[in-house]
């Protein structure tokens, strides 16, 4: 049995779709797949993703 995580947009009541999004932070950019509503364009970022990415980028900065 496959357990697939599905997110529904609160506003539109439609399933959010995977989308490749480019982020930029401290003059660095990176791409990541996020869930995005195809109707209103709202994206869903997990806090884990955001904090994980940001600390990774900060690690790179300190590495200089």
Chain residues binding Zn ion by CB under 5 A are 9, 11-12, 37, 39-40
**In terms of CB distance, is 26 or 40 closer to Zn ion?**
40
Q: With the C-alpha atoms ordered 24, 27, 25, 57, is the resulting torsion angle positive or negative?
A: positive
**In terms of CB distance, is 16 or 57 closer to Zn ion?**
16
3-class secondary structure per residue, 53-64: HHHHHHHHHHCC
What does the DSSP 8-state code read for residue 22?
Answer: E
**In terms of CB distance, is 17 or 40 closer to Zn ion?**
40
CB of 36 to Zn ion, least distance (A): 9
């Amino acid at each position: 049995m496959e357990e697939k995580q599905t997110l529904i947009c609160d506003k539109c009541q439609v399933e959010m779709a995977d989308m490749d999004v480019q982020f930029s932070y401290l003059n660095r950019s990176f791409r990541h797949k996020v869930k995005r509503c195809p109707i209103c364009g709202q994206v869903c970022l997990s806090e884990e993703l955001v904090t994980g990415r940001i600390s990774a980028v900060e690690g790179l900065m300190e590495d200089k």
